[in-house]
Chains A and B, each alone.
Chain A
Amino acid sequence: MIEIKNLSKSFGSTKVLDDISFSVKKGEILGFLGPNGAGKSTTMKIITSFWSPTKGSVEIDGVKTEDDSMQTRSKIGYLPETVPLYDDMRVFEYLKFVAEVRGLEKDKIQARIKEVIEACNLQTVIRKPIEELSKGFRQRVGLAQAIMHEPDILILDEPTTGLDPNQIVEIRELIKKIGKEKTVIFSTHILSEVSATCDRAIIINNGKIIAEGTPAELVHKMGGAEIIYVKIKGKKEDVLHKLKAMENVIKVEEKDRESDDIHGYELTPADGVDLREHLSMLVMNAGWSILEFSKKSISLEDVFIKLTK
């Protein structure tokens, strides 16, 4: 559906994008992750034909943007990072303008605007001037604009920045709902967002793709899925010694200290091995006691920090 080949973009001597290639399948929700200034927005601006690339190409359904951008543009709904609203218009005026300029048929415009208003929960603000809207509503009007012409592809640049937690959940739900029938690319630097909404994620840093895969795959690639945390009452040297001697334990680390003989330890088990039973047996046999026990998964957060540092 979307084919991006060897995309590069430079401004003078600074390279913002450096030879990026990836593709997005129909119906997929792709998360575009990266720290600020990594090149996420630039990539989106090129896909939407706002900018042209220095090198490389973008193909949408087999049509290159440089060959027929009118056709590729009409398949895309785009929500830029700064929500593009005309402050002096009212919400319905704006939506009507969008519908008309997108070339919707005259007799269908009314019905479509109604649908979009419902999908984005804008009923209460349609008559308000846009400049009076709260940030959450602005974002939703922006989203309404992007889906107006029922595009196959939605490109959303940081759709949840600046919103409060409730609004974030709302917008995320909306993206998921819309994403059921459409191909969605959205960028974010909030990682939980990717695990919550995306089928696949691409991590980008300094203009290069540094990792790609489902959220689970990305975590897996980072080596080991889980860590066991255990707090044991017993003499520290003995405990450390015995834990290290255990089978299938790759790494033992002392994590914290509560008192002289109560310490917290972190164990990294070998891939796919369940250590829990062994561990409790060991502790019992040695005459110590377990005060706390938990399993920690490596989050996408850790992957992200590791990769982009």
Chain B
Amino acid sequence: MKIEIITPDKTIFAGEGKLVQLPGLDGLFAILQNHAPLIASLKAGKVKIIDNSDVVAYYDITSGVVEVKENHVLVLVE
């Protein structure tokens, strides 16, 4: 699935991945392949991405929102 992480100043991640773990307002949740369409608010925490070659990357965020549709994960963070 396609993952994009965008901040107001730049795009910090754009590419293919297997898993995205996000700090939702009500707790951590993860998005895998073929997830149902979703819009969720995020709180401060770490975003974890595992890309197709199993490389794990973390990004710190203070707040944000995520939209998932048709295997496209769009994370807007600050």
**Does chain A bind chain B?**
no
